[in-house]
Amino acid sequence: MKLHLSTVTLGVADLARSRAFYEQGMGLVPSSASNEQIGFYQCGLTVLALYPRQELAEDACLPPERVGRAGLFDGVTLACNCATREAVDQLMARAAAAGARIAKPAQEAFWGGYSGYFEDPDGHLWEAVNVPFFEHGQAGNLILPK
Give domain 7-143's CATH number out of 3.10.450.750, 3.10.180.10, 3.30.830.10, 3.20.20.150: 3.10.180.10
- Show me where the domains of the chain are located: 7-143
50 within 8 A of 38, measured Cβ to Cβ: yes
Query: What's the confidence (pLDDT) of residue 129?
Result: 94
pTM for the full model?
Answer: 0.86
How far is it, in rounded angstroms, from Cα 56 to Cα 86?
36
Query: What's the confidence (pLDDT) of residue 50?
Result: 96
How far is it, in rounded angstroms, from Cα 126 to Cα 77?
6
Written as one string, the DSSP assignment of 77-126 is: EEEEE-SSHHHHHHHHHHHHHTT-EEEEEEEE-TTS-EEEEEE-TT--EE
Query: What's the confidence (pLDDT) of residue 102?
Result: 96
Question: Pick from 5, 85, 97, 93: which is nearest to 45 by CA?
Answer: 5
Q: Please name the residues in contact with 79: beta carbons below 8 A apart, sequence gap of 6 or more.
A: 126, 127, 128, 129
> pLDDT 10s digit of each residue in the chain, 146 long?
776 788 999 999 999 999 999 999 999 999 999 999 999 999 988 999 999 988 998 888 887 777 766 556 777 899 999 999 999 999 999 999 999 999 999 999 999 999 999 999 988 999 999 999 988 888 878 888 88
Question: Pick from 70, 66, 73: which is nearest to 12 by CA?
Answer: 70
How far is it, in rounded angstroms, from Cα 85 to Cα 115?
8
Query: What's the confidence (pLDDT) of residue 69?
Result: 60
Query: What's the confidence (pLDDT) of residue 68?
Result: 66
